[in-house]
A and B are shown apart, each in its own frame.
Chain A
């Protein structure tokens, strides 16, 4: 019987922590890109596109992320593609993140007074010019705080990728706990590491929120 010190456990968890970070970044960046595309489709594409994006958002917000992960894992495999946990987790988390971000950003764009659209439209600006010069600069300022806040949800969401065999912090925790027979210590460390990762982001989001509210009030 080998004895494992706290440092052995922590060191191995820290090694796994980087995959949590990498997966979070993939989901956040990928979700941001897809979300931005969906937002433009919703703003520009007429009623049908708006409805389709609305359905997309409702689908991802109204079903468990765990099921989305399973569907990506088994769904991509149906097409005869050998799917790794990496692919499935990246795809599912990107789609999930995009649905939330597009909804958050839509709210931010909607909070820009209608007069701004009308005024810029009457100056003969095209939709692209309106977005670039008038709407987005204002909407982005409002959007930063909730977007950073959502990053915490994404980081926590990556923990579910452990269920389809993606070895990140949570999965590593389960494996180490099985090897060391010290579940209490291991899962305390896992929770602590997530906290260390998420808490600064939460605080930063709160600070940003206070700033934007101060500026607008």
Chain B
């Protein structure tokens, strides 16, 4: 029994694949920027905020970290409309990705914050810096530097996780692969091609973030 592959039929649909890649990267970019912002806020809340805020932030973090991404996505896309909030697939995907990365990055950034020597904070306070200034200029940059490798891994995981967003018909890469295989019945080939593109994106994204981190986020 011979198996014949026809990758040409899949590659001929390159505009669809390209669109998928663009959506995947777009979702990842927005998700990363907003997710890191949420993570930083919650990390600050968990390490220096008032008690009620700490409890709120920890509840959010534990809820997200102990439920699957696909369930979070379904809850936002299918569940929330029943409660009166109607969202497009793209917006629902972004919200889910931001919430997800936000929770994970909270823990990662907090680990970095807790590793900051107390003397540095005391020194900064004695220089009459405000609380916000101490956090943004003294605590956060070295904390980010320490945990950047873990953060990069998490961002890559969120990018790969975005494949699930195709399930609510966001037109990212896995959705494109699904569409292609439904047109030409070349399921295995379409998913091989999509998987290899994901692999290339993951490698490239890791390189990009490792390069960009020291230049733009925490200095060298």
Q: Among B65, B75, B167, B198, point to the contact of A188 (Cβ < 8 A).
A: B75
Closest Cβ of chain B to A85, distance in Å, is 15
Inter-chain contact B192/A62, CB cutoff 8 Å: no
Chain B interface residue count, Cβ-Cβ cutoff 8 angstroms: 38
Chain B contacts for A140, CB-based, 8 A: none
Inter-chain contact A67/B74, CB cutoff 8 Å: no
Known A187-B71, A188-B75, A195-B66; contact A62-B198, beta-carbon cutoff 8 A: yes
Closest Cβ of chain A to B53, distance in Å, is 21
Inter-chain contact B71/A191, CB cutoff 8 Å: yes
A48 to B167, CA, bound (A): 39
Inter-chain contact B68/A160, CB cutoff 8 Å: yes
Inter-chain contact B67/A162, CB cutoff 8 Å: no
A195 to B71, CA, bound (A): 11
Contact string against B for A residues 60-71, beta-carbon threshold 8 Å, 1 for contact and 0 otherwise: 001111111011
Q: Among A64, A79, A198, point to the contact of B198 (Cβ < 8 A).
A: A64
Inter-chain contact B67/A194, CB cutoff 8 Å: yes
Inter-chain contact A202/B83, CB cutoff 8 Å: no
Q: Residue B23 at the A interface, CB < 8 A?
A: no
Inter-chain contact A67/B1, CB cutoff 8 Å: no
Q: Residue B134 at the A interface, CB < 8 A?
A: no
Inter-chain contact B191/A188, CB cutoff 8 Å: no
A130 to B170, CA, bound (A): 53
Inter-chain contact A170/B74, CB cutoff 8 Å: yes
Inter-chain contact B70/A162, CB cutoff 8 Å: yes
* Interface 9-residue window, one of B12-20, B33-41, B157-165: B157-165
Q: Residue A32 at the B interface, CB < 8 A?
A: no
* A63, A152, A163 pick with most chain B CB within 10 angstroms: A63
| B154-189 interface (Cβ within 8 A of A) | 156, 160-161, 163-164, 167, 174, 177, 187-188
Inter-chain contact B163/A64, CB cutoff 8 Å: yes
Closest Cβ of chain B to A7, distance in Å, is 19
Q: Residue A159 at the B interface, CB < 8 A?
A: yes
Inter-chain contact B78/A183, CB cutoff 8 Å: yes
Q: Residue B6 at the A interface, CB < 8 A?
A: no
Q: Residue B194 at the A interface, CB < 8 A?
A: yes
Inter-chain contact A183/B81, CB cutoff 8 Å: yes
Q: Residue B3 at the A interface, CB < 8 A?
A: yes
Q: Residue B82 at the A interface, CB < 8 A?
A: yes
Identify 9 new A-B residue pairs, CB closer than 8 A, beyond the known A67-B174, A187-B78: A59-B199, A62-B202, A63-B198, A64-B195, A70-B187, A152-B66, A159-B68, A184-B79, A187-B74
Lowest 8 A-B CB distances belong to which pairs? A159-B68, A64-B163, A198-B66, A184-B82, A156-B68, A62-B202, A187-B79, A183-B78
Can you report 24 residue pairs joining A to B where beta carbons are below 8 Å apart? A59-B199, A62-B199, A63-B199, A64-B164, A67-B163, A70-B187, A75-B188, A79-B1, A159-B71, A160-B68, A163-B167, A170-B68, A170-B74, A174-B78, A186-B79, A188-B75, A191-B63, A191-B67, A191-B75, A194-B66, A194-B71, A195-B62, A199-B66, A202-B66
